[in-house]
Amino acid sequence: MSVGKEMKIHPSKGIVIRYKGIIDIDSLYKDVKSWFKKNDYDYFEKENTEKNKPQGNTLIIKMRAERKVDDYVRFDIGVDFDEILRVKKVNKGYSGDARIIIRAEMIFDYYNNWKTIPFLFYIYNNLIIKKKIYTFYFPKIYNEMMDLNSLIKKDLGLIR
């Protein structure tokens, strides 16, 4: 398998979590944001919208975070509260249907130092540091992605 400019860690559509029931959106949002901070990620929001609809509000929140591991590799993680549908206020938070998607990837040469010499970039990734990519970087970001997945599922009450 050839290593390019980026390497996706998640399955093709991301890790998809579906949930129907009571959601403490504020707590879940704060916990994910706190997880990014605790793991030294720089966090930003790509989108945070709410649409009022007769059957209940729809929320879309797209959280992004990145961490420079070293001068060559950066980890990017995204959490999309892709659709939280039919949201209605109840005693313990909100009631609704949620689809949350987690995506993670490694970005190589994020400073673009090798942009003008793609052949050497290819040699470096696929011969010189390939073992480090698969034995150090990949397991690290994979474990972080799965830890975040567990945090979200725990907040939703899907795991204990």
pLDDT higher than 90, residue 7: yes
What share of residues in the chain are helix, strand, coil (percent, to 5)? 30, 40, 25
> What digits encode the pLDDT tens for the residues 25-77?
889 999 999 999 999 999 999 998 888 877 777 888 999 999 999 999 999 99
User: Are 21 and 28 within 8 A, CB to CB?
Assistant: no
pLDDT at 85: 66
pLDDT at 51: 81
CB atoms within 10 A of CB 12: 5
**Of 160, 140, 156, the residue nearest 32 (C-alpha):** 156
> What digits encode the pLDDT tens for the residues 66-117?
999 999 999 999 999 877 767 677 776 778 888 999 999 999 999 999 888 9
- Sorted by where each begins, the domain ranges of the chain are 6-156
pLDDT at 135: 97
pLDDT higher than 70, residue 1: no
pTM: 0.89
